[in-house]
Chain A
Amino acid sequence: MSTQKKAVALISGGLDSLLAAKLMIDQGIHVEGINFYTGFCVEGHTHAIRKKDKAKPKRNNALWSAEQLGIKLHIIDIIDEYKDVLINPKHGYGANMNPCLDCKIFMVSKAKQWMEENGFDFIITGEVMGQRPMSQRKDLLPVVVRESGADDRLLRPLCAKNLAATLPEREGWVDREQLKDFSGRNRKPQMALAAEFGFEDYATPAGGCCFLTDKNYSDKLVDLWQARNKKDYELDDIMLLKVGRHLRPQPHYKIIVSREDGENKFLQGYKKQFATIEIKSHNGPLSLVDGELSDEDFQFAARIAARFSQGRDAESVTVKTTALDGTEKTFDIKPMPPSEIKQEWYI
């Protein structure tokens, strides 16, 4: 009597991993999903901080995928371990600060560890040969296999027919003939397969699934490292890079100015960790200040913050500053005119 084989599927929340898992389930494999959270994952909720985005659906696409598939999903926090991947990528960065190949190797190696700890037999991913320029190039797929240590227990159901047979295929755990031979950037085969399976409303993130592929975000991260003179970060740092306007009028401090109510509420949660500037006489943003400020710096930063308040055209605006040690000061300032706010201050 043969026992049911078990596969752990890397579920990103996108269409490819959904389809790869479905192909295995349909072959009678017991599949459970694993989703790694690096801190840089693009999810609807980050955008949902902003009030203007509240009409958008706020679902976690990995959970949604698991529900469609009827499988368990294990979401694993790898924020701390991921730092070394981002800070010291062996294979370098992509167009921005995205270490895609190192990231894939790391995630597959973590999945291998999970597979061994939980008595599973192999790993599946939604990789498609040639679909992504850095991590899914034909010549780099074997690098993931080798450097993750997954070796021939890594099966890519969507492009398996383009690759050498893996252990699950050779052992007859899965039928290679039922696997796919997708390649390249054309998404039509995946969309046709999704229609065949009856999947609708699946996620189609325009910019990929990671903030590190975004130039604006990457610029803010590089600025953070330069300002601190070291490549390191905490979760709060990288969360705040997604929120508000970031201006650095002086090398030793940065202002994060909320753009609307939703961000104001979110930044309230950081008031104990940062010096703050609040507009008291008018409706206006909460601003966090990252750095050590003199009284003169506070005055200058407050003028910038006031420019983004409803008192922007007023002769005088009342602001309250709170230093990191809790010292509060309330004073009146003239908002800085837009012409004095230098474009290069925007990060």
Chain B
Amino acid sequence: MSQHTLDARNSLCPMPVIKTQNKVNELQAGDILKVTCTDPGALNDIPAWCRINGHLIKDSYEENNEVVIIIQVAG
């Protein structure tokens, strides 16, 4: 299991989701990905994409006008 980060700031829906999708496809089961976005919609959409694809949302929060989502990649 390894930790990864993804900077999806300054991109609008659905680019943060596409970037997350593409990054997750490179990772292994159990890996942790921290995604940072500025589009507040990502707070809904990335978790929705994770639910559809079976990945686990470990945490999500807003901080300094940014959205942070922590994902654990499914097997």
Contact = CB atoms under 8 A, between A and B. Distances in A.
A240 to B, nearest CB: 11
B51 A67 contact: yes
A37 B41 contact: no
A63 interface: yes
B44 interface: yes
Interface of A is mostly: mixed
A71 interface: yes
Interface string B44-57: 11001101110000
A48 B45 CA distance: 13
B36 to A, nearest CB: 13
B17 interface: yes
A67 B10 CA distance: 26
Contact of B48 (A35, A54, A60): A60
A130 to B, nearest CB: 30
B18 to A, nearest CB: 5
B9 interface: yes
Contacts of A54: 40
Contact of A37 (B15, B40, B44, B49): B15
Nearest to A43: B13
**Which interface residue of A37, A48, A60, A64 has the most chain B CB atoms within 10 A?**
A60
B12 A60 contact: no
A74 B38 CA distance: 22
A245 interface: no
B63 to A, nearest CB: 15
Contacts of A35: 14
B12 A46 contact: yes
Contact of B18 (A64, A72, A77): A77
A72 B53 contact: yes
Contacts of A62: 14
Contacts of A73: 49, 52
B5 interface: no
Contacts of A291: none
A66 B45 CA distance: 12
A149 interface: no
A44 B52 contact: no
Nearest to B9: A269
B65 A63 contact: no
Contact of A59 (B9, B38, B45): B45
Given A44-B41, A59-B41, A75-B17, A49 B52 contact: no
Contacts of B10: 266, 269-270
B21 interface: yes
B39 A45 contact: yes
Contact of B38 (A58, A64, A269): A269
A59 B48 contact: yes
Contacts of B14: 35, 37, 41, 43, 45, 60, 62-63, 75
Contacts of A44: 13, 41
Contacts of B52: 63, 66-67, 71-73
Contacts of B15: 37, 77
A215 interface: no
B38 to A, nearest CB: 7
A79 to B, nearest CB: 9
Interface of B: 9-10, 12-15, 17-18, 21, 38-41, 43-45, 48-49, 51-53, 65
Interface of A: 35, 37, 41, 43-46, 48-49, 54, 58-60, 62-64, 66-67, 71-77, 239, 265-266, 269-270
Given A44-B41, A58-B43, 9 more contacts: A41-B14, A45-B40, A48-B41, A59-B41, A59-B45, A63-B17, A67-B52, A75-B14, A265-B38
